[in-house]
Amino acid sequence: MRLSRDGYCGQGQTHRRIREEWGYPDIGIYFADCPSAGHDMIALDYRGGDEPRVVHVDQEAGYRITTLAPDFATFIDGLVHEWC
């Protein structure tokens, strides 16, 4: 699995396709989609500098961007197993 501007999580979806075909904003690296089948995604938002925020981008709400965590480490620390 890799994260780059060329794709996310090895799924073959390029960031260009995410932006151009689906209309997602060019804010950084999209690394996960959600159970809504692509109508919202999780991204590293680099608009604020070198340390990206982790954000949720909701296509159905006009590509509304909601901060999930101020940085990736905080995001990972906040993950819980779905059985919890």
**pLDDT surpasses 60 at 4:** no
Confidence (pLDDT) at 10: 45
Confidence (pLDDT) at 2: 44
Q: Is the pTM of this model over 0.85?
A: no
- Best CA proximity match to 44, nearest among 12, 81, 22, 76: 76
CA 35 to CA 51: how far, in whole Å? 27
Confidence (pLDDT) at 11: 53
**pLDDT per residue as tens digits for the range 16-73:** 778 788 899 999 998 888 887 768 999 999 999 889 999 999 999 999 999 999 999 9
Domain segments of the chain as ranges: 3-77
